[in-house]
Amino acid sequence: MSRESMIACALLAACCAALPLHAADESDIRLAPGAGLVETQSSCAICHSLDYIVMNSPFLDAAGWQKVVTKMITVMGAPITPDNAAIIARYLATNYGRDPAPSATTPP
Protein backbone atom coordinates (compact mmCIF):
# COMPACT_ATOMS: atom_id res chain seq x y z
CA MET A 1 0.00 0.00 0.00
CA SER A 2 1.41 3.41 -0.97
CA ARG A 3 2.00 6.10 1.59
CA GLU A 4 -0.74 8.26 0.04
CA SER A 5 -3.39 5.56 0.22
CA MET A 6 -2.43 4.84 3.83
CA ILE A 7 -3.08 8.48 4.67
CA ALA A 8 -6.34 8.47 2.70
CA CYS A 9 -7.46 5.38 4.62
CA ALA A 10 -6.60 6.92 7.96
CA LEU A 11 -8.46 10.11 7.09
CA LEU A 12 -11.52 8.21 5.91
CA ALA A 13 -11.57 6.11 9.05
CA ALA A 14 -11.30 9.22 11.20
CA CYS A 15 -14.19 10.89 9.37
CA CYS A 16 -16.45 7.86 9.51
CA ALA A 17 -15.79 7.39 13.18
CA ALA A 18 -16.68 11.03 13.88
CA LEU A 19 -19.93 11.10 11.90
CA PRO A 20 -22.34 9.01 14.01
CA LEU A 21 -21.14 10.76 17.14
CA HIS A 22 -22.00 14.10 15.68
CA ALA A 23 -25.40 12.98 14.38
CA ALA A 24 -26.36 11.79 17.85
CA ASP A 25 -25.31 15.00 19.55
CA GLU A 26 -28.49 16.41 21.02
CA SER A 27 -26.66 19.48 22.28
CA ASP A 28 -26.79 20.81 18.71
CA ILE A 29 -30.42 21.71 19.34
CA ARG A 30 -30.66 24.86 21.35
CA LEU A 31 -34.06 25.95 22.55
CA ALA A 32 -34.83 29.61 23.13
CA PRO A 33 -33.80 30.92 26.54
CA GLY A 34 -36.68 31.72 28.89
CA ALA A 35 -38.62 30.68 31.98
CA GLY A 36 -39.25 26.94 31.76
CA LEU A 37 -36.34 26.11 29.46
CA VAL A 38 -34.67 23.82 31.99
CA GLU A 39 -37.92 21.93 32.72
CA THR A 40 -38.65 21.58 29.01
CA GLN A 41 -35.18 20.33 28.12
CA SER A 42 -35.00 17.84 30.93
CA SER A 43 -38.57 16.52 30.47
CA CYS A 44 -38.96 16.49 26.69
CA ALA A 45 -35.62 15.10 25.53
CA ILE A 46 -36.02 11.77 27.34
CA CYS A 47 -37.70 9.95 24.45
CA HIS A 48 -37.02 11.99 21.33
CA SER A 49 -35.13 14.93 19.92
CA LEU A 50 -35.99 18.46 20.99
CA ASP A 51 -36.29 19.01 17.24
CA TYR A 52 -39.92 17.91 17.60
CA ILE A 53 -40.58 21.17 19.42
CA VAL A 54 -38.91 23.32 16.80
CA MET A 55 -40.54 21.42 13.91
CA ASN A 56 -44.04 21.85 15.35
CA SER A 57 -43.73 25.51 16.28
CA PRO A 58 -45.37 26.80 13.05
CA PHE A 59 -48.52 24.75 13.70
CA LEU A 60 -49.21 24.87 17.43
CA ASP A 61 -50.68 27.70 19.46
CA ALA A 62 -51.01 27.77 23.25
CA ALA A 63 -53.92 25.31 23.23
CA GLY A 64 -52.10 23.05 20.79
CA TRP A 65 -48.98 22.89 22.96
CA GLN A 66 -51.11 22.22 26.01
CA LYS A 67 -52.58 19.23 24.15
CA VAL A 68 -49.14 17.96 23.12
CA VAL A 69 -47.83 18.12 26.69
CA THR A 70 -50.94 16.34 27.98
CA LYS A 71 -50.64 13.70 25.24
CA MET A 72 -46.97 13.09 26.03
CA ILE A 73 -47.93 12.46 29.65
CA THR A 74 -51.14 10.45 29.24
CA VAL A 75 -50.45 8.58 25.97
CA MET A 76 -46.65 8.32 25.87
CA GLY A 77 -46.14 8.09 29.63
CA ALA A 78 -43.82 11.06 30.08
CA PRO A 79 -42.85 11.38 33.75
CA ILE A 80 -43.80 15.04 34.19
CA THR A 81 -45.45 16.49 37.29
CA PRO A 82 -48.58 18.68 36.83
CA ASP A 83 -46.58 21.70 38.04
CA ASN A 84 -43.87 21.15 35.46
CA ALA A 85 -46.42 20.40 32.74
CA ALA A 86 -47.91 23.86 33.29
CA ILE A 87 -44.47 25.48 33.23
CA ILE A 88 -43.52 23.62 30.05
CA ALA A 89 -46.82 24.40 28.28
CA ARG A 90 -46.36 28.09 29.08
CA TYR A 91 -42.74 28.03 27.89
CA LEU A 92 -43.71 26.34 24.62
CA ALA A 93 -46.63 28.67 23.95
CA THR A 94 -44.47 31.73 24.65
CA ASN A 95 -41.39 30.71 22.70
CA TYR A 96 -42.69 28.24 20.11
CA GLY A 97 -46.33 29.22 19.77
CA ARG A 98 -47.90 30.00 16.45
CA ASP A 99 -49.29 33.52 16.23
CA PRO A 100 -52.46 33.32 18.38
CA ALA A 101 -54.46 35.53 16.00
CA PRO A 102 -55.30 33.45 12.90
CA SER A 103 -56.04 36.55 10.82
CA ALA A 104 -52.51 37.83 11.39
CA THR A 105 -50.96 34.69 9.88
CA THR A 106 -53.27 34.50 6.84
CA PRO A 107 -51.81 36.36 3.88
CA PRO A 108 -54.04 39.19 2.63
Residues of this chain that bind ligand HEC (CB under 6 A): 43-44, 46-48, 52-53, 56, 68-69, 71-72, 76-78, 80, 88, 92
**Shortest Å distance, C-beta 55 to ligand HEC:** 7
CA distances from 83 to 9, 19, 39, 86 (A): 54, 39, 10, 5
What span, in angstroms and rounded, lies between the C-alpha atoms of 2 and 87? 61
> With respect to ligand HEC, which residue has the nearer C-beta, 20 or 79?
79
User: What's the CA gap between 12 and 71, in Å, rounded?
Assistant: 44
11 vs 47, beta carbon nearer ligand HEC: 47
Minimum distance, C-beta of residue 32 to ligand HEC, in the bound complex (Å): 13
77 conformational bin, left if phi > 0, alpha if psi -120 to 50, beta if neither = left
In angstroms, give the least distance from the CB of 60 to ligand HEC.
7
